[in-house]
Chains A and B, each alone.
Chain A
Amino acid sequence: MLDDSGENESADADLVAALQRRDESVFTTVVRRYHGPLLRLALAHHPSRAVAEEIVQEAWLAVVQGIDRFERRSSFKTWLFRILVNRARTRAEREGRTVPFSSLVSEVESEDGPAVPADRFVPTDHPEWAQWAGHWMVAPKSWGESPERALIARETRALIEAAIAALPAGQRQVITLRDVEGWPSEEVCNVLQISETNQRVLLHRARSRVRAALERYFDAESR
Protein backbone atom coordinates (compact mmCIF):
# COMPACT_ATOMS: atom_id res chain seq x y z
CA MET A 1 0.00 0.00 0.00
CA LEU A 2 2.77 2.34 0.91
CA ASP A 3 5.52 2.83 -1.63
CA ASP A 4 7.59 5.64 -0.23
CA SER A 5 10.90 4.71 -1.82
CA GLY A 6 10.63 8.02 -3.64
CA GLU A 7 10.89 6.24 -6.97
CA ASN A 8 7.18 6.26 -7.47
CA GLU A 9 6.15 9.88 -7.50
CA SER A 10 2.42 9.39 -7.29
CA ALA A 11 2.78 7.02 -4.33
CA ASP A 12 4.97 9.62 -2.66
CA ALA A 13 2.32 12.29 -3.31
CA ASP A 14 -0.33 10.00 -1.79
CA LEU A 15 1.80 9.46 1.27
CA VAL A 16 2.35 13.16 1.83
CA ALA A 17 -1.34 13.88 1.27
CA ALA A 18 -2.28 11.22 3.84
CA LEU A 19 0.05 12.75 6.40
CA GLN A 20 -1.27 16.22 5.64
CA ARG A 21 -4.82 15.08 6.32
CA ARG A 22 -3.48 13.50 9.54
CA ASP A 23 -4.04 9.86 8.72
CA GLU A 24 -2.63 8.26 11.83
CA SER A 25 -2.32 4.75 10.42
CA VAL A 26 -0.16 6.05 7.58
CA PHE A 27 1.91 8.00 10.10
CA THR A 28 2.41 4.88 12.22
CA THR A 29 3.45 2.84 9.17
CA VAL A 30 5.97 5.50 8.14
CA VAL A 31 7.38 5.74 11.66
CA ARG A 32 7.78 1.97 11.88
CA ARG A 33 9.42 1.80 8.50
CA TYR A 34 11.93 4.60 8.94
CA HIS A 35 12.64 4.65 12.62
CA GLY A 36 15.35 1.95 12.38
CA PRO A 37 17.27 3.56 9.51
CA LEU A 38 16.89 7.00 11.13
CA LEU A 39 18.27 5.67 14.40
CA ARG A 40 21.20 4.05 12.63
CA LEU A 41 21.99 7.28 10.83
CA ALA A 42 21.67 9.25 14.09
CA LEU A 43 24.05 6.79 15.76
CA ALA A 44 26.46 7.33 12.89
CA HIS A 45 26.47 11.01 13.86
CA HIS A 46 26.30 10.63 17.60
CA PRO A 47 27.68 7.58 19.38
CA SER A 48 25.43 7.88 22.42
CA ARG A 49 22.30 5.82 21.95
CA ALA A 50 20.25 8.01 24.26
CA VAL A 51 21.21 11.14 22.32
CA ALA A 52 20.66 9.41 18.96
CA GLU A 53 17.16 8.41 20.04
CA GLU A 54 16.45 11.99 21.08
CA ILE A 55 17.61 13.25 17.69
CA VAL A 56 15.27 10.82 15.94
CA GLN A 57 12.31 11.88 18.10
CA GLU A 58 13.10 15.54 17.33
CA ALA A 59 13.21 14.76 13.63
CA TRP A 60 9.79 13.10 13.76
CA LEU A 61 8.33 16.03 15.65
CA ALA A 62 9.75 18.34 12.99
CA VAL A 63 8.01 16.19 10.37
CA VAL A 64 4.69 16.45 12.22
CA GLN A 65 5.06 20.21 12.44
CA GLY A 66 6.41 20.70 8.93
CA ILE A 67 4.39 18.31 6.78
CA ASP A 68 1.83 20.96 5.80
CA ARG A 69 4.60 23.12 4.41
CA PHE A 70 6.37 20.27 2.59
CA GLU A 71 6.55 21.27 -1.06
CA ARG A 72 7.74 17.98 -2.55
CA ARG A 73 10.86 19.41 -4.08
CA SER A 74 12.44 16.12 -3.01
CA SER A 75 10.95 12.76 -2.12
CA PHE A 76 9.43 12.46 1.32
CA LYS A 77 12.19 10.06 2.31
CA THR A 78 14.98 12.46 1.31
CA TRP A 79 13.24 15.29 3.14
CA LEU A 80 12.83 13.17 6.28
CA PHE A 81 16.46 12.04 6.36
CA ARG A 82 17.74 15.54 5.64
CA ILE A 83 15.82 16.79 8.64
CA LEU A 84 17.57 14.16 10.71
CA VAL A 85 21.00 15.00 9.31
CA ASN A 86 20.45 18.71 9.97
CA ARG A 87 19.36 18.02 13.55
CA ALA A 88 22.33 15.75 14.13
CA ARG A 89 24.78 18.28 12.69
CA THR A 90 23.29 21.16 14.67
CA ARG A 91 23.60 19.10 17.80
CA ALA A 92 27.21 18.17 17.06
CA GLU A 93 28.01 21.82 16.40
CA ARG A 94 26.40 22.91 19.67
CA GLU A 95 28.43 20.34 21.52
CA GLY A 96 31.54 21.45 19.68
CA ARG A 97 32.33 17.93 18.59
CA THR A 98 32.75 18.39 14.87
CA VAL A 99 32.64 21.13 12.30
CA PRO A 100 29.42 20.36 10.45
CA PHE A 101 28.87 20.49 6.68
CA SER A 102 32.50 20.98 5.81
CA SER A 103 33.47 18.03 7.98
CA LEU A 104 32.69 15.32 5.45
CA VAL A 105 34.71 17.06 2.79
CA SER A 106 37.65 17.65 5.11
CA GLU A 107 37.46 14.01 6.12
CA VAL A 108 37.71 13.01 2.46
CA GLU A 109 40.70 15.30 1.99
CA SER A 110 42.52 14.17 5.08
CA GLU A 111 45.06 11.39 4.83
CA ASP A 112 43.75 7.98 5.62
CA GLY A 113 45.90 4.88 5.46
CA PRO A 114 45.68 2.55 2.46
CA ALA A 115 42.94 -0.08 2.17
CA VAL A 116 45.53 -2.70 3.08
CA PRO A 117 48.75 -1.89 5.01
CA ALA A 118 51.68 -1.28 2.64
CA ASP A 119 53.84 -3.88 4.40
CA ARG A 120 51.61 -6.64 3.07
CA PHE A 121 52.92 -6.01 -0.45
CA VAL A 122 56.38 -6.61 -1.87
CA PRO A 123 58.36 -3.36 -1.59
CA THR A 124 60.08 -1.93 -4.66
CA ASP A 125 63.49 -2.33 -3.01
CA HIS A 126 63.04 -5.97 -2.01
CA PRO A 127 66.44 -7.75 -2.40
CA GLU A 128 65.03 -10.81 -4.22
CA TRP A 129 61.50 -10.11 -5.33
CA ALA A 130 61.76 -6.55 -6.62
CA GLN A 131 60.24 -7.60 -9.96
CA TRP A 132 57.10 -8.48 -7.97
CA ALA A 133 56.90 -5.10 -6.29
CA GLY A 134 53.33 -4.22 -5.37
CA HIS A 135 52.17 -7.84 -5.33
CA TRP A 136 50.93 -9.59 -2.23
CA MET A 137 53.57 -10.64 0.26
CA VAL A 138 51.10 -11.43 3.05
CA ALA A 139 48.07 -12.45 1.02
CA PRO A 140 44.52 -12.61 2.36
CA LYS A 141 43.68 -16.08 3.63
CA SER A 142 40.44 -17.77 2.76
CA TRP A 143 37.59 -17.21 5.21
CA GLY A 144 36.70 -20.89 5.04
CA GLU A 145 34.15 -23.06 3.32
CA SER A 146 31.01 -21.22 4.36
CA PRO A 147 31.90 -17.73 5.57
CA GLU A 148 28.31 -16.58 4.99
CA ARG A 149 27.25 -18.72 7.93
CA ALA A 150 29.99 -17.41 10.20
CA LEU A 151 29.10 -13.85 9.20
CA ILE A 152 25.56 -14.04 10.54
CA ALA A 153 26.63 -15.34 13.96
CA ARG A 154 25.87 -13.00 16.82
CA GLU A 155 29.56 -12.65 17.64
CA THR A 156 30.45 -11.57 14.11
CA ARG A 157 27.57 -9.11 13.97
CA ALA A 158 28.77 -7.51 17.19
CA LEU A 159 32.24 -7.28 15.70
CA ILE A 160 30.88 -5.58 12.57
CA GLU A 161 28.88 -3.10 14.68
CA ALA A 162 32.02 -2.33 16.67
CA ALA A 163 34.05 -1.87 13.48
CA ILE A 164 31.45 0.61 12.16
CA ALA A 165 31.41 2.47 15.48
CA ALA A 166 35.20 2.85 15.32
CA LEU A 167 35.10 4.58 11.89
CA PRO A 168 35.44 8.34 11.43
CA ALA A 169 32.02 10.01 11.26
CA GLY A 170 31.77 10.47 7.49
CA GLN A 171 32.75 6.88 6.72
CA ARG A 172 30.28 5.72 9.33
CA GLN A 173 27.43 7.73 7.82
CA VAL A 174 28.12 6.56 4.28
CA ILE A 175 28.57 2.86 5.05
CA THR A 176 25.47 2.89 7.25
CA LEU A 177 23.26 4.19 4.47
CA ARG A 178 24.90 2.37 1.55
CA ASP A 179 25.61 -1.08 2.98
CA VAL A 180 23.67 -1.48 6.22
CA GLU A 181 20.51 0.14 4.84
CA GLY A 182 21.19 -0.73 1.21
CA TRP A 183 20.52 2.71 -0.31
CA PRO A 184 21.67 3.61 -3.84
CA SER A 185 24.56 6.07 -3.96
CA GLU A 186 22.46 8.87 -5.43
CA GLU A 187 20.15 8.94 -2.41
CA VAL A 188 23.07 8.89 -0.01
CA CYS A 189 24.69 11.84 -1.80
CA ASN A 190 21.37 13.70 -1.65
CA VAL A 191 20.82 13.18 2.03
CA LEU A 192 24.41 13.80 3.15
CA GLN A 193 24.92 16.48 0.48
CA ILE A 194 28.22 15.20 -0.77
CA SER A 195 29.48 14.48 -4.27
CA GLU A 196 29.44 11.03 -5.81
CA THR A 197 33.25 10.95 -5.76
CA ASN A 198 33.51 11.91 -2.09
CA GLN A 199 30.88 9.36 -1.23
CA ARG A 200 32.88 6.65 -2.98
CA VAL A 201 36.09 7.63 -1.20
CA LEU A 202 34.41 7.39 2.20
CA LEU A 203 32.69 4.13 1.28
CA HIS A 204 35.97 2.64 0.08
CA ARG A 205 37.79 3.45 3.30
CA ALA A 206 34.91 2.23 5.43
CA ARG A 207 34.52 -1.10 3.62
CA SER A 208 38.27 -1.65 3.67
CA ARG A 209 38.36 -1.17 7.42
CA VAL A 210 35.39 -3.41 8.13
CA ARG A 211 36.94 -6.10 5.92
CA ALA A 212 40.19 -5.75 7.84
CA ALA A 213 38.33 -6.19 11.15
CA LEU A 214 36.69 -9.36 9.82
CA GLU A 215 40.03 -10.61 8.51
CA ARG A 216 41.57 -10.25 11.99
CA TYR A 217 38.65 -12.20 13.38
CA PHE A 218 38.87 -15.04 10.83
CA ASP A 219 42.67 -15.20 11.18
CA ALA A 220 42.38 -15.53 14.96
CA GLU A 221 39.70 -18.22 14.54
CA SER A 222 41.83 -20.33 12.23
CA ARG A 223 44.90 -20.15 14.44
Chain B
Amino acid sequence: MTAMPADELTCKELVELVTAYVENALPPNDRRRFEEHLATCEFCTEYLRQIRLTIGALGNLPDESISLEALAELQNAFRSFRSQG
Protein backbone atom coordinates (compact mmCIF):
# COMPACT_ATOMS: atom_id res chain seq x y z
CA MET B 1 0.00 0.00 0.00
CA THR B 2 1.23 3.47 -0.83
CA ALA B 3 1.58 5.89 2.02
CA MET B 4 -0.81 8.80 2.17
CA PRO B 5 0.58 12.23 1.24
CA ALA B 6 1.23 14.15 4.44
CA ASP B 7 -1.62 16.61 4.00
CA GLU B 8 -4.25 14.21 2.67
CA LEU B 9 -7.60 14.44 4.38
CA THR B 10 -8.99 11.36 6.03
CA CYS B 11 -12.55 10.28 5.23
CA LYS B 12 -13.52 11.16 8.79
CA GLU B 13 -12.29 14.72 8.25
CA LEU B 14 -13.86 14.99 4.84
CA VAL B 15 -17.41 14.26 6.02
CA GLU B 16 -17.15 17.22 8.41
CA LEU B 17 -16.08 19.55 5.59
CA VAL B 18 -18.75 18.49 3.15
CA THR B 19 -21.17 21.35 3.91
CA ALA B 20 -18.44 23.98 3.65
CA TYR B 21 -17.47 22.33 0.34
CA VAL B 22 -20.93 22.37 -1.22
CA GLU B 23 -21.44 25.91 0.12
CA ASN B 24 -18.23 27.01 -1.62
CA ALA B 25 -16.89 28.17 1.70
CA LEU B 26 -13.63 26.20 1.87
CA PRO B 27 -10.36 28.12 1.58
CA PRO B 28 -8.59 27.21 -1.71
CA ASN B 29 -6.05 24.95 -0.06
CA ASP B 30 -8.69 22.92 1.78
CA ARG B 31 -10.77 22.77 -1.35
CA ARG B 32 -7.80 21.28 -3.21
CA ARG B 33 -7.24 18.68 -0.46
CA PHE B 34 -10.95 17.87 -0.46
CA GLU B 35 -10.99 17.31 -4.23
CA GLU B 36 -7.74 15.34 -4.20
CA HIS B 37 -9.25 13.00 -1.65
CA LEU B 38 -12.47 12.62 -3.64
CA ALA B 39 -10.53 11.75 -6.78
CA THR B 40 -9.21 8.59 -5.16
CA CYS B 41 -11.99 7.68 -2.71
CA GLU B 42 -15.17 6.17 -4.10
CA PHE B 43 -16.76 6.01 -0.64
CA CYS B 44 -16.41 9.71 0.01
CA THR B 45 -17.61 10.35 -3.55
CA GLU B 46 -20.70 8.32 -2.68
CA TYR B 47 -21.08 10.22 0.60
CA LEU B 48 -20.97 13.56 -1.20
CA ARG B 49 -23.49 12.25 -3.72
CA GLN B 50 -25.83 11.29 -0.87
CA ILE B 51 -25.52 14.73 0.69
CA ARG B 52 -26.44 16.29 -2.66
CA LEU B 53 -29.37 13.87 -3.03
CA THR B 54 -30.49 14.79 0.48
CA ILE B 55 -30.41 18.51 -0.35
CA GLY B 56 -32.36 17.83 -3.55
CA ALA B 57 -34.97 15.76 -1.71
CA LEU B 58 -35.41 18.45 0.96
CA GLY B 59 -36.11 20.97 -1.79
CA ASN B 60 -38.76 18.74 -3.29
CA LEU B 61 -41.06 18.47 -0.30
CA PRO B 62 -44.60 19.54 -1.17
CA ASP B 63 -45.52 23.15 -0.39
CA GLU B 64 -47.78 23.98 2.49
CA SER B 65 -50.76 26.03 1.39
CA ILE B 66 -53.19 28.24 3.27
CA SER B 67 -56.69 27.01 4.05
CA LEU B 68 -59.55 28.96 2.51
CA GLU B 69 -60.86 29.78 6.01
CA ALA B 70 -57.54 31.24 7.13
CA LEU B 71 -57.24 33.24 3.91
CA ALA B 72 -60.77 34.61 4.27
CA GLU B 73 -60.02 35.63 7.86
CA LEU B 74 -56.92 37.54 6.76
CA GLN B 75 -58.73 39.22 3.87
CA ASN B 76 -61.41 40.36 6.33
CA ALA B 77 -58.78 41.73 8.66
CA PHE B 78 -57.12 43.54 5.76
CA ARG B 79 -60.45 45.04 4.68
CA SER B 80 -61.56 46.08 8.12
CA PHE B 81 -58.23 47.72 8.78
CA ARG B 82 -58.72 49.64 5.54
CA SER B 83 -62.15 50.87 6.58
CA GLN B 84 -60.79 52.07 9.94
CA GLY B 85 -57.87 53.83 8.26
Contacts and interface: CB of A to CB of B under 8 A. Distances in A.
Interface of A: 22, 24, 27-28, 31-32, 35-37, 39-40, 53, 57, 60-61, 64-65, 68, 114-116, 118, 121, 131, 133-136, 139-143, 147-148, 151-152, 156-157, 160-161, 164, 175, 179-180, 182, 185, 200, 203-204, 207-208, 210-211, 214-215
Nearest to B71: A31
Nearest to A204: B19
Nearest to A156: B57
Given A142-B46, A152-B60, A207 B23 contact: no
Contacts of B15: 114-116, 208
B11 A22 contact: no
A200 B66 contact: no
B12 A64 contact: no
A99 to B, nearest CB: 26
Interface residues of B, number: 46
Contacts of B39: none
Interface of B: 1, 3-4, 10-13, 15-16, 18-20, 23, 25, 41, 43-44, 46-47, 50-51, 53-66, 70-71, 73-75, 77-79, 81-82, 85
Given A40-B64, A157-B61, A211 B13 contact: no
A151 B50 contact: no
A143 B53 contact: yes
B19 A203 contact: yes
A115 B16 contact: yes
B57 to A, nearest CB: 4
A60 B74 contact: yes
Contacts of A210: 54, 58
Nearest to A67: B81
Tell me whether chain A's interface is mostly helix, strand or loop, or mixed: helix
Given A22-B85, A31-B66, A40-B64, A211 B54 contact: yes
Tell me whether chain B's interface is mostly helix, strand or loop, or mixed: helix
B46 to A, nearest CB: 5
A17 to B, nearest CB: 15
Contacts of A175: 58
Given A32-B66, A179-B59, A200-B19, A135 B11 contact: yes
Contacts of A22: 78-79, 81-82, 85
A114 B77 CA distance: 48
A28 B73 CA distance: 11
12 contacts: A22-B85, A57-B70, A65-B81, A116-B15, A136-B11, A148-B53, A179-B59, A180-B61, A200-B19, A204-B16, A204-B18, A211-B54
Contact of A185 (B23, B43, B74): B23
B54 A64 contact: no
Contacts of A141: 46
Contacts of B63: 36
B61 A35 contact: no
